[in-house]
A and B are shown apart, each in its own frame.
Chain A
Amino acid sequence: MLKMTQMSTVLSIFVLFLRTTFGESGCTSADGDGTFVDDEPDNFDIDCFSQLEFKDSYSRLTCNFTELPPHNTNYTLALCTKEDGNYVCFNMEKQEDAYFLQFTDILSNKDICMDSETKRRVCRSLVVTDIVKPEVPFDINITYQKEANEYLIHYSTPHSWKKYLKDKLIHQIAYQKEGGTWKTIETPYLQIKLLGKNLENDASYEVKVRSKPNGDYFKGMWSEWSTSKSFRTAREQHSTESYNSMVVVILSILGFMLSIVMIVLVITFWENRIKPAVWPNLPDHKKTLEQLCKKPKNNFDISFNPESFGYVHIHKVDGIRAKAEVENFLQPSTALETNLTEKFRSGSDLKMNLAMTDKSNLNLSVTYGGIWPAEALNRLLGTNQFAVTEGNCSSSTYEVCHSNRVPLCDDGFNLPSAPLLDPSGQPGPESLNGDTISQMVPTSDMRSPNNEEAYVTMSSFYKIQ
Chain B
Amino acid sequence: PVNSSSCAMGNKTTHIREKYENILSHDIDELVNMSAEYRDRCCKNKKHENSKVFFCNDTQEIESLQRMACNMLRFFHKQKISKDYRWKAALVSCGTLQVLHCKCERHKKEKVCTQVNTHNKDTEKSEQSKKKCNQEFCELKENISSLRSCWNKFEKIIFR
**A163 in contact with B119 given A84-B110, A105-B98 (CB within 8 Å):** no
Judge whether B113 and A83 touch: CB under 8 Å.
yes
Tell me which of A81, A163, A168, A217 contacts B117 (CB under 8 A).
A81
Chain A residues 68 to 91 lying within 8 A of chain B, measured CB to CB, are 81, 83-84, 88, 90
Chain A, residues 157-169, CB within 8 Å of chain B (1/0): the string is 0000001100010
Judge whether A102 and B119 touch: CB under 8 Å.
yes
Chain A residues 146 to 178 lying within 8 A of chain B, measured CB to CB, are 163-164, 168
Judge whether A107 and B119 touch: CB under 8 Å.
no
Q: How far apart are B94's CB and chain A's nearest CB, in angstroms?
A: 7
Q: How far apart are B133's CB and chain A's nearest CB, in angstroms?
A: 24
Name A52's closest neighbour in chain B (CB-CB).
B23
Judge whether B23 and A57 touch: CB under 8 Å.
no
Chain B, residues 98-134, CB within 8 Å of chain A (1/0): the string is 1100010001001001101111000000000000000
Judge whether B22 and A164 touch: CB under 8 Å.
yes
Name A53's closest neighbour in chain B (CB-CB).
B26
Tier of interface size on chain A:
20 to 34
Judge whether A88 and B114 touch: CB under 8 Å.
yes
Chain B residues 67 to 120 lying within 8 A of chain A, measured CB to CB, are 88, 91, 94-95, 98-99, 103, 107, 110, 113-114, 116-119
- Whether a CB of chain B sits under 8 angstroms from the CB of A462 is no
Tell me which of A84, A90, A107 contacts B99 (CB under 8 A).
A107
- Whether a CB of chain A sits under 8 angstroms from the CB of B58 is no
- Whether a CB of chain B sits under 8 angstroms from the CB of A338 is no
Judge whether B23 and A107 touch: CB under 8 Å.
yes
Residues of B within 8 A of A168 (CB): 22
Number of interface residues of B (CB under 8 A): 24
A88–B88 alpha-carbon span in the complex (Å): 21
Residues of A within 8 A of B18 (CB): 217
Residues of B within 8 A of A107 (CB): 19, 23-24, 95, 98-99
Tell me which of B21, B88, B91, B107 contacts A84 (CB under 8 A).
B107
Name A168's closest neighbour in chain B (CB-CB).
B22
Chain A residues 88 to 109 lying within 8 A of chain B, measured CB to CB, are 88, 90, 101-108
**A90 in contact with B118 given A57-B91, A84-B107, A217-B22 (CB within 8 Å):** yes
A164–B24 alpha-carbon span in the complex (Å): 9
A81–B119 alpha-carbon span in the complex (Å): 14
Residues of A within 8 A of B27 (CB): 163
A93–B122 alpha-carbon span in the complex (Å): 15
**A83 in contact with B114 given A107-B99, A164-B22, A164-B23 (CB within 8 Å):** yes
Tell me which of B30, B91, B95, B110 contacts A83 (CB under 8 A).
B110
Tell me which of A90, A104, A163, A218 contacts B91 (CB under 8 A).
A104
Q: How far apart are A112's CB and chain B's nearest CB, in angstroms?
A: 16
15 contacts between A and B (CB under 8 A): A83-B110, A84-B103, A88-B114, A101-B119, A103-B118, A104-B119, A107-B19, A107-B98, A108-B98, A129-B22, A163-B26, A163-B27, A163-B30, A164-B22, A217-B22
The 9 closest A-B pairs by CB, nearest first: A163-B26, A105-B117, A102-B119, A217-B22, A107-B98, A108-B98, A104-B117, A107-B95, A84-B110
Residues in A lying within 8 Å of B, measured CB to CB: 57-58, 81, 83-84, 88, 90, 101-108, 129, 163-164, 168, 217-218
Residues in B lying within 8 Å of A, measured CB to CB: 18-19, 21-24, 26-27, 30, 88, 91, 94-95, 98-99, 103, 107, 110, 113-114, 116-119
